[in-house]
Structure 1
Amino acid sequence: MSTENYNSLAAFVVVARKRSFTRAAAKLGVSQSALSQTIKGLETRLGVRLLSRNTRSLLPTEAGDRLMRTLAPRFDEMEHELAALSALRDKPSGTIRISAGEHPAVTVLQPALKRFLIDHPDIRVEIIVDLGLTDIVAEGYDAGVRLGEQVAKDMIAVRIAPDMRVAVVGSASYFDRHPRPLIPADLTGHNCINFRLPTYGGLFPWEFEKDGRELRVRVEGQLVFNNAVLRLQSVRDGLGLAYMPEDQALEDIAQGRLIRVLEDWCPPFPGYHLYYPSRRHGSSAFKLLIDALRYPHSW
């Protein structure tokens, strides 16, 4: 069927339903005269009159009524299917790939996804736990998670967590054998549990600040990990001091399993941010995830 015939038949259905050229023209967004000419052209091509016109009414003829009863359900079905396709198009879907460290993946991303994925069943999220400073563009990620001070200036960054603090902790049994450090320099005499940086293979320096004075202390000890769980269990076992995100140690501190030291040298610093290149901003699924992660959270 030609486009001309399709448009003419669709116009006829509207006119027959409205029983008025004026009301039908308003619905279709065309002039009354143009609509009248469309119907006349259709009648000429079919060779039958479809509408009976007089000064007071506009009614389908017998041929027009038959055509109306045949066409109207089909046009309604097409409108319904088009609406369904539009809804499918607008329904957020797709896969979002995120590179994140172990700590933000557990403390920020996982809690948000519990509600987010239930609310949006057609969205898939892939989280790759990566302790290095991954180039998310080169590696094909949609976004990454880093501390605020680590995000590159050419990226869009959204805060997803509050400010953080670190804690230096040891067990009571450890401090039964060793004096508590009072200043960062005292750590050189302690058995410290180190953390291996995967990016360059070096050991993570313990950073401190007080009264505007910043220190980076290279500590020594018998143990080195690149895993938070092993590090926490080792400090509980009295094998040394550990330097870790405060939230990982608070419960142990409250229960008396761990003792915090050098707290006055551990001020807050900018927390985790989701960062991404500007080209990712157009995805509806990605926008929804940003809203779900944005701090302060609604979950």
Structure 2
Amino acid sequence: MASPNLNDLAAFIAVAQERSFTRAAARLGLSRSALSHCIRGLESRLGTQLLIRTTRSVSTTDAGARLLNVIAPRIDEIELELGSISAMRDKPAGTVRITANDHSIQTVLWPRLAPLLRDYPDIHIELNVDYGFTDIAAQRFDAGIRLGDNIDKDMIAVRIAPDMRMAAVGAPAYLAGRPPLLNPRELTEHSCLNLRLPTYGSLYAWEFERDGQSINVKVQGQATFNNGYLMLQAALDGLGLTYGPLDMVQPHLDSGALVPVLEDWWPVFPGYHLYYANRRQISAALSLVIEVLRTR
């Protein structure tokens, strides 16, 4: 029996993890037909079926699941070591994949990473916008960005931004003629702009704090988004109140396009942290990215 090569095994891992030939082909940079041919060849050489294919999904057989559990960690180790050897050149090289929300990318990551890319042409950065609690190991990211109180204990966390104050705001036109808000619970009487969290599919409850008292409010409104900047635009259009990082809304507060509500209840959260898996060795490219982003 001819032994499968690493490319065959990497192709199988991609299909098994993505549960889709189309997504796996895009991830590997192959055509779907070439990927299908590769998997059929692997199954033929092993003499067993690894994947169950239907018109709507792809899943592993028992043999496929066993193979995936055995080889996926080892392939990751091989790729990490190859990346480390490649990084031993004069300049760091390679791709660093980071998952983060759009606010952290715009305010922290990109302003610091853009100069890095100009100085190190062999480093490539892939930024994926996501509001979810991404499992970076399962999704094959090198690092992720979250607020400091939302990081799993088995991850290494590096602070990249100061603490963040949140703010509730609305347009003067929306608030005109309405009584001032004195308590966060009164938000249930207003039209508010909701944020849907992809990890759990639920709506984000606005968080407030004053004098040691914490209140979370599930708000209601006509519009729901999965993007903070779209919520901000809807608030500027007078469609309701919104909630987000103070530095995001501050220019509009300064111009008078938005006004604060419940300002004495605005909470402060631990700032953005970069987190990555606790490995014995990380690539030189990721190490350089961490150093550039680290808050001093």
Taking structure 2 as the reference length, the TM-score comes to 0.68
CA separation of 1:246 and 1:231: change in aligned 2, threshold 3 A: same
CA separation of 1:87 and 1:250: change in aligned 2, threshold 3 A: closer
- 2:263 is aligned with 1:263: yes
Q: CA deviation at 1:281?
A: 4.4
What does residue 105 of structure 2 align with?
105
Count of matched residue pairs: 212
Instruction: Summarize deviations over 1:125-146 as a string: whole Å, max 9, x none.
Output: 1111111111001111111000
* CA distance, structure 1, for counterparts of residue 253 and residue 280 of structure 2: 41
Alignment of 1:124-273 (within 5 A): 124-273=124-273
RMSD over aligned CA atoms reads 1.8
CA separation of 1:280 and 1:138: change in aligned 2, threshold 3 A: farther
Instruction: Summarize deviations over 1:67-124 as a string: whole Å, max 9, x none.
Output: xxxxxxxxxxxxxxxxxxx997242101111111121111111111111111111111
**Secondary structure of the equivalent of 1:165?**
strand
Q: Unpaired runs of 5+ in structure 1?
A: 1-85
**What letter corresponds to residue 101 of structure 1 in structure 2?**
N
Assess if the C-alpha contact under 8 Å between 1:160 and 1:273 holds in 2: yes
* CA distance, structure 2, for counterparts of residue 234 and residue 172 of structure 1: 13
Identical pairs, percent: 55
- Which aligned runs of 4 or more in structure 1 are off by greater than 6 angstroms? none
What does residue 284 of structure 1 align with?
284
Assess if the C-alpha contact under 8 Å between 1:145 and 1:273 holds in 2: yes
* CA distance, structure 1, for counterparts of residue 130 and residue 184 of structure 2: 29
Q: CA deviation at 1:282?
A: 3.1
Q: CA deviation at 1:178?
A: 1.9
CA separation of 1:117 and 1:219: change in aligned 2, threshold 3 A: same
CA separation of 1:128 and 1:247: change in aligned 2, threshold 3 A: same
Q: Unpaired runs of 5+ in structure 2?
A: 1-85
* CA distance, structure 2, for counterparts of residue 87 and residue 148 of structure 1: 30
Q: Max radius of gyration: which structure?
A: 1
Instruction: Summarize deviations over 1:25-84 as a string: whole Å, max 9, x none.
Output: xxxxxxxxxxxxxxxxxxxxxxxxxxxxxxxxxxxxxxxxxxxxxxxxxxxxxxxxxxxx
* CA distance, structure 2, for counterparts of residue 293 and residue 142 of structure 1: 14
